[in-house]
């Protein structure tokens, strides 16, 4: 102890006349820091209501609630997060996980209110002072707690794949599949989009857990064509995937395929559970395509005796006869169909209804008849010269290619059309040309410009890579012939496809004419149903709607015993056909088990 | 643990080892200090039995802040635990964030990027000096010297401003998460930090003048509340409490973590192990903090990733395993014992807060034969934060 210890404490007096260090009006004079985690903001337009913020909130402070003026639509649940500030701990995990980056936090941190309920509000919907605050916490770009990049899918190089019809896509390994499945946030927006409402988040979780038995069970719950859909589904689910907003969408289709690749056919058969006790009711189904077979599968599982009649020599419909093998190997179709057979579905091939057996006979021998004819006739352009024998329909050529029949591969071909069928035939021809002549000479002309092509972007990219010349916005005008042989196609540039009323009425720039040489012209501009099996009397009796059979919500036609399903009534892809098959099967089953309905 | 307090004047022991205290005799008095008492650190209480103004027995009561953090975490995913852990220590929450993140990272087999380790170190040192500042105010305040608390709070507030601009929050920063940190330093941060550190330097000098060179403070603290170096191991005494007893215990040196091996510093030690020495060790350690913050800012890489590649944290499963991660916080060794069972949730989390040993068993021992007026001072000198006692 010294004299210093007595005097030194008094040095504290030196601040006696200093200005105070406190902020006089902190509510106004002190804004929060630029990355301050203050009250939430939400761009209600950008938000898709995926609810991932609600999932991650460890306080249960977020509820997804419906909001007036925001409609539920594909890829948007219509719900928006409501935040309870009695629970919120300002950790901003909701901001970090937000799939669209719509949810942010402002730097506002003072809010005085006498009504305690006011502190539970919907950011971006309930207007607040800080809605337009420019400062506050936003997820830094590099900061991700959900991976953004899709697991790489191996595929054959263009030079290699053009030489054969071998499948292009490798499929995921278990490691890749787990990585990809891990990215899913299980929001379920995809389920609403999927026509057959597959349990997507659940089967992705099964992949994550390596529980393929559960995975395949979930697949068969809603889709007996999972092997096929796992390869060629139009995967609308991926277009509404929450992950696509700030990264790649989850490869839902490939994960479905992965499950099917990991299980044996025996496991699938075990899952679907074999033949059921008979109800004594009989159903005849015309057409062994996805819709017909799905309905057959459902009805057989209910115990009804189902017989499917197929005009061609193998079941599968357009999945077999329309889709080239490099996209969908035939053994995959066989496998899916065999599982369907295992529940007792009797598939009779090479039986053409209306020819080998009449529809009337089916009617009298069965309790219900279902038509799943598909769209097997190609539409014609009806341009001059298109009646030539070397102007072919894409569906016909694809069918012949599947059957392995030689239709005279042209050295150079011109395809008319910009949809997936056009791509399929162009790429099939390219392979055949490569095998026969060692080079590819296929020109594809589409009415649409590239930005509006109907084909999948992947198809266009791969066709490009395979050396197919894709010309957009070209309208076919004339098939040019010389000495009775097709020499090519004349096209004009398309100015507009639709008129002002939005009707299909292409207009052309006649000055921009091109000639595309080729000894064969293939029309791939759409398909229609061959409904001649109905016969004149029944055609007359049934109600029609713009060339399509008129059906009710359950797929029943105006005749009480007759249902129709699939592409012939509701297009245009496999998974829609599957969904339709389920719907019509439910309707038939309800009818068969209802006491009021008699034959 | 057996010990023999000096019972020369105070209650004799009965045959069964309990004290022979007869409250009806009028010689003894029960006195509760806390749970709401300015002389107590946080919400805990000490049940004192006094004879005159001397304490003959002290019994600690904790649990007033019990929120069951460890149990809560067993029902939350690994990422959901991240906002919880900081609440286990209010004045210096960052150790919870760091230890939890490091434990999860170790068991998950991920490595935080180098740049994030530097930022983590910076944050931990910022938290440490703030914790010391809070202590200074408390220690001086317990003896009636209010001005130190005012000065320290101002300096601390400036550091909270730095926390706010760096992490987005002042108290619960929630910035160090498994895999790295959320973001890098904001623009101009170094400059503003330097200005803040200068205020700290001035404040520490002022505190030295009015608190450490103070006849009253010295009279009340020198030779009072001595921790016998022999107790250190017995009671698990760590941090400044141990270093003031002359033992250079410092996890930053003993089991270096983050970027401490690349920083130049020596643990601050004292000799006398009394309240004054402990305060002095902390004061000098605060200077080390200032130096470490400057070193960190000078050496820190300014580019590079801040988060490592992480799986989807929404359903992150961590393989079966257990680990103990420790760090040197302002009170001593802070540790997280984490057990995982391969699921998406921690199987067991146990938080080792230094206050647990310091404020309970050690305090109960040291409080005997103390003057009532020194109880608060002794307790503050052990630097306890009750939430970490009752996780």
Band (B326; pLDDT cuts 50, 70, 90): very high
Best to test chain A binding among B214, B217, B220, B309 (most A CBs inside 10 Å)? B214
Interchain CB distance below 8 Å, B82 and A9: no
**What is the value of ipTM here, to two decimals?**
0.90
Interatomic CA distance for residues B391 and B388, integer angstroms: 6
The reply to whether B209 touches chain A by the CB within 8 Å rule is: yes
Residue B9: the pLDDT is: 60
What is residue B26's predicted lDDT score, i.e. its pLDDT? 82
- Å between B159 CA and nearest CA of chain A: 13
Measured CA to CA in angstroms, residue A450 lies from A77, A493, B81, B368, B391 at distances of: 31, 13, 49, 88, 62
B172 contact residues in A (CB cutoff 8 A): 89-91
CB within 8 Å of chain B, chain A residues 113-142: 137, 140, 142
CB-closest option in B80, B165, B214 to A8: B214
Residue from B69, B77, B82, B83 whose CB has the most chain A CBs within 10 Å, to mutate: B83
Q: Does B305 touch chain A (CB under 8 A)?
A: yes
**Which residue(s) pair with A475 in the sheet?**
A492
Tokens of B253: 């040196």
8 Å CB contact of A147 and B310: yes
The packing angle between helices A174-182 and A200-209, to 10°, is 130
pLDDT value of position B53: 84
B209 to A5: CB separation less than 8 angstroms, yes or no: no
Distance CA B341, CA B318 (A): 7
pLDDT tens per residue, range B56-77: 888 888 888 888 899 999 999 9
DSSP three-state, residue B164: helix
Q: Where are the alpha helices (DSSP H) in A466-514?
A: none
User: Is the CB of residue B344 less than 8 Å from the CB of residue B335?
Assistant: no
Report the residue of chain B nearest A183, measured CA to CA: B312
CA angle A279, A284, A288 (to 5 degrees): 120
A109 to chain B, any CB pair closer than 8 A? The answer is: no
In which region does residue B94 sit, left (phi positive, over 0), alpha (psi from -120 to 50) or beta (all else)? alpha
Minimum CA–CA partner of B87 in chain A: A89
- Least confident range from A150-154, B27-31, B200-204: namely B27-31
A392 touches chain B (CB under 8 A): no
**DSSP per residue, A566-578:** GGGTS-S-HHHHH
For the cut 80, the answer to whether the pLDDT of residue B165 exceeds it is yes
**In the 8-state DSSP scheme, what is residue A598?**
-
pLDDT above 50 (res B1): no
What are the chain A neighbours of B307 within 8 Å (beta carbons)?
142-144
Residue B188 has pLDDT above 50, yes or no: yes
Per-residue model confidence (pLDDT) at position A23: 82
Model pLDDT, residue B17: 75
CB within 8 Å of chain A, chain B residues 22-41: none
**Interface check B74 vs A, CB under 8 A:** no
Is the Cα torsion angle A271, A274, A277, A283 positive or negative in sign?
Answer: positive
Q: Over the range B79-91, which residues count as b (16 or more CB within 10 Å of their CB) and which as e?
A: bbbbbbbbbbbbb
In the predicted structure, residue B2 carries a pLDDT above the cut 60: no
Per the CB < 8 Å rule, is A205 touching B169? Answer: no
Looking at the complex, report in whole angstroms how far the Cα of residue A154 sits from the nearest Cα belonging to chain B.
Answer: 21
Residue of A91, A142, A186 lying closest to B306 (CB–CB): A142
Closest CB to B79: pick one of A93, A142, A186.
A93
CB contacts < 8 A, A to B, total 117
Is the confidence at residue B7, as pLDDT, over 60? no
Q: Is residue B54 pLDDT above 60, yes or no?
A: yes
Nearest to B189 by CA among B122, B240, B144, B248: B122
Whether cis (ω within 30° of 0) applies to the bond prior to A518 is no
**By the CB < 8 Å criterion, does A33 face chain B?**
yes
Q: Which of A6, A10, A35, A137 to mutate to test the interface with B (most CBs of B within 10 A)?
A: A35
- pLDDT score of B360: 86
Asked if residue B318 lies in contact with residue B340, where contact means CB atoms within 8 angstroms, the answer is yes
Query: What tens digit of pLDDT does each residue of A311-335 get?
Result: 999 999 999 999 999 999 999 999 9
Is any Cβ of chain B less than 8 angstroms from the Cβ of A92? yes
Q: Contacts of residue B101 in chain A, CB cutoff 8 Å?
A: none
Phi and psi torsions of A574, nearest 5°? -60, -50
Per-residue pLDDT band for B39 (boundaries 50, 70, 90) equals low
Number of Cβ within a 10 Å radius of residue A343: 22
Chain B, residues 79-98, CB within 8 A of chain A, namely 79-84
Cα of A111 vs its chain's centroid, Å: 46
Interface contact flag, A144 B310, Cβ < 8 Å: yes
pLDDT tens digit sequence for B69-103: 999 999 999 999 999 999 988 889 999 999 999 99
Q: How far is A139 from chain B (nearest CA, A)?
A: 8
Among all residues of chain B, which has the CA nearest to that of A139? B182
> How near does any CA of chain A get to the CA of B172, in Å?
8
Interface contact A34-B186, CB threshold 8 A: yes
Four-residue CA torsion sign, A21, A22, A25, A28: positive
> A-contacting residues of B 213-272, CB under 8 Å?
213-216, 218-219
Do the Cβ atoms of A193 and A239 come closer than 8 Å? yes
pLDDT, position A596:
52
Instruction: Find chain A residues with C-beta within 8 A of B182's C-beta.
Output: 96, 140, 143
Tens digit of pLDDT for each residue in A32-86?
A: 999 999 999 999 999 999 999 999 999 999 999 999 999 999 999 999 999 999 9
Of A12, A55, A91, the CB nearest to B83: A91
Please determine, for residue B38, whether its predicted confidence score (pLDDT) is greater than 70: no
Q: Does B172 touch chain A (CB under 8 A)?
A: yes
Mean pLDDT of B40-46: 77
pLDDT of residue B244: 94
What is the pairing mode between strands B332-340 and B346-352? antiparallel
Structure tokens belonging to residue B218: 């010295």
d(CA A89, CA A56) in angstroms, rounded, equals 13
Of residues A34, A92, A182, nearest to B312 (C-beta): A182
| pTM exceeding the 0.80 threshold for the entire prediction | yes
- Are A143 and B306 inside 8 Å of each other by CB? yes
Q: Which of B77, B104, B160, B169 to mutate to test the interface with A (most CBs of A within 10 A)?
A: B169
> Is A20 near chain B, with CB under 8 Å?
no
Mean pLDDT, all residues of chain B: 90
State the nearest Cα–Cα gap between B210 and chain A, in angstroms.
4
Backbone angles phi and psi of B290, in degrees to 5? -60, -45
Neighbours of A121 (CB within 10 A): 18
Chain A residues whose beta carbon lies within 8 Å of the beta carbon of residue B164? 32-33, 36
By Cβ distance, the residue of B210, B305, B309 closest to A8 is: B210
Band of the pLDDT at B6, cuts 50, 70, 90?
Answer: low
Which parts of chain A sit beneath pLDDT 70?
595-599
């Amino acid at each position: 102890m010294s004299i210093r210890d007595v005097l030194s404490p008094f040095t504290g007096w030196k601040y006696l006349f200093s200005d105070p260090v406190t902020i006089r009006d902190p509510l106004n004079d002190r804004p929060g820091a630029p990355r301050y985690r203050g009250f939430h903001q939400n761009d209600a337009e950008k938000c898709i209501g995926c609810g991932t913020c609600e999932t991650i909130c460890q306080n249960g402070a977020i509820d997804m609630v419906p909001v007036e003026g925001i409609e539920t639509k594909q890829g948007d649940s219509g719900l928006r997060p409501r935040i309870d500030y009695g629970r919120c701990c300002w950790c901003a995990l909701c901001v970090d996980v937000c799939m669209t980056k719509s949810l942010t936090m402002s730097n506002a941190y003072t809010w005085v209110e006498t009504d305690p309920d006011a502190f539970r509000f919907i950011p971006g919907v309930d207007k607040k002072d800080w809605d337009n605050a420019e400062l506050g916490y936003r997820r830094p770009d590099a900061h991700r707690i959900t991976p953004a990049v899709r697991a790489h899918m191996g595929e054959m190089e263009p030079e290699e794949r053009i030489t054969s019809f071998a499948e292009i896509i490798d499929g995921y390994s278990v490691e890749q599949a787990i990585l990809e499945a891990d990215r899913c946030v299980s929001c379920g927006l995809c389920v609403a989009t999927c026509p057959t409402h597959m349990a997507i988040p659940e089967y992705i979780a099964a992949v994550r857990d390596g529980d393929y038995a559960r995975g395949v069970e979930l697949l068969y719950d809603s889709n007996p064509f999972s092997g096929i859909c796992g390869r060629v589904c139009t995967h609308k689910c991926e277009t509404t995937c929450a992950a696509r907003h700030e990264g790649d969408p989850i490869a839902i289709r490939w994960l479905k395929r992965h499950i099917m690749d990991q299980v044996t056919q025996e496991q699938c058969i075990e899952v679907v559970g074999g033949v059921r006790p008979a109800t004594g009711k009989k159903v005849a189904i015309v057409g062994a395509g996805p819709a017909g077979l799905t309905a057959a599968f459902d009805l057989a599982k209910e115990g009804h005796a189902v017989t499917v009649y197929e005009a061609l020599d193998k079941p599968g419909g357009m999945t077999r006869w329309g889709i080239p093998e490099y996209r969908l190997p035939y053994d995959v179709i066989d496998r899916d169909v065999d599982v369907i057979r295992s529940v007792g579905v009797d598939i009779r091939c090479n039986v053409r209804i209306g020819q080998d057996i009449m529809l009337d006979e089916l009617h009298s021998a069965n309790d219900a008849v279902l038509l799943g004819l598909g769209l097997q006739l190609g539409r014609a352009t009806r341009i001059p010269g298109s009646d030539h024998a070397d102007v072919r329909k894409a569906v016909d050529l694809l069918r012949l290619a599947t059957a392995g029949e030689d239709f005279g591969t042209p050295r150079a071909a011109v395809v008319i059309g910009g949809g997936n069928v056009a791509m399929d035939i162009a790429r099939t021809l390219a392979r055949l040309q490569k095998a026969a002549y060692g080079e590819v000479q296929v020109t594809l002309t589409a009415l649409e410009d590239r930005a509006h092509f109907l084909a999948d972007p992947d198809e266009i990219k791969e066709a490009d890579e395979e050396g197919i010349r894709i010309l957009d916005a070209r309208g076919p005008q004339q098939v040019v012939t010389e000495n009775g042989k097709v020499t090519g196609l004349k096209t004009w540039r398309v100015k507009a496809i639709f008129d002002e009323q939005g009707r299909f009425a292409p207009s052309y720039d006649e000055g921009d004419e091109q000639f595309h040489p080729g000894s064969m012209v293939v029309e791939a501009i759409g398909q229609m149903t061959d409904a001649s099996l109905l016969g004149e009397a029944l055609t007359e009796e049934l109600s029609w709607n713009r060339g399509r059979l008129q059906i009710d919500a359950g797929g029943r036609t105006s005749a009480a015993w007759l249902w129709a399903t699939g592409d012939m009534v509701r297009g245009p892809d496999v998974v829609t056909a599957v969904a339709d098959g389920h719907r019509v099967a439910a309707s038939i089953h309800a009818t068969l088990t209802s006491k009021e309905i008699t034959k | 643990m057996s010990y023999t307090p000096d019972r020369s004047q105070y209650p004799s022991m009965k045959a069964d080892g309990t004290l022979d205290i007869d409250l009806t005799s009028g010689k003894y008095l029960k006195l509760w200090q806390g749970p709401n008492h300015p002389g107590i650190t946080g919400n805990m209480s000490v049940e004192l039995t006094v004879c005159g103004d001397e304490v003959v027995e002290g019994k600690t009561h904790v649990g007033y802040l019990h929120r069951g953090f460890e149990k809560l975490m067993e029902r939350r995913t690994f990422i959901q635990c991240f906002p919880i852990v900081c609440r286990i220590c209010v004045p210096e929450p960052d150790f919870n964030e760091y230890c939890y993140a490091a434990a999860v990272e170790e068991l998950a087999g991920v490595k935080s990027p180098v740049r994030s380790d530097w930022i983590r170190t910076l944050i931990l040192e910022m938290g440490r000096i703030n914790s010391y500042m809070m202590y200074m105010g408390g220690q001086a305040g317990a003896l009636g010297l209010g001005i130190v608390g005012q000065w320290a709070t101002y300096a601390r507030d400036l550091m909270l401003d730095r926390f706010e601009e760096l992490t987005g929050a002042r108290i619960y920063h929630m910035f160090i998460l498994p895999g790295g940190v959320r973001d890098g330093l904001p623009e101009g941060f170094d400059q503003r930090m330097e200005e803040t550190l200068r205020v700290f330097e001035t404040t520490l000098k002022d505190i030295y003048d009015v608190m450490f060179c103070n006849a009253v403070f010295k009279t009340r603290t020198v030779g009072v509340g001595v921790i016998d170096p022999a107790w250190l191991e017995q009671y698990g005494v760590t941090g400044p409490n141990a270093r003031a007893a002359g033992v250079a215990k410092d996890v930053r040196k003993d089991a270096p973590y983050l970027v401490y091996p690349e920083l130049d510093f020596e643990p601050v030690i004292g000799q006398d192990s009394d309240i004054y020495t402990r305060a002095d060790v902390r004061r000098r350690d605060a200077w080390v903090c200032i130096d470490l913050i400057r070193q960190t800012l000078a050496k820190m890489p300014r580019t590079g990733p801040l988060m490592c590649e992480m799986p989807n944290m929404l359903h992150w499963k961590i393989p079966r395993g257990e680990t103990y991660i420790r760090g040197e916080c302002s009170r001593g060794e802070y540790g997280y014992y984490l057990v995982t069972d391969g699921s998406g949730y921690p199987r067991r989390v146990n938080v080792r807060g230094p206050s647990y040993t310091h404020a309970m068993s050690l305090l109960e021992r040291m409080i005997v034969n103390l003057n009532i007026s020194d109880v608060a001072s002794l307790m503050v000198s052990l630097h306890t934060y009750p939430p970490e006692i009752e996780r």
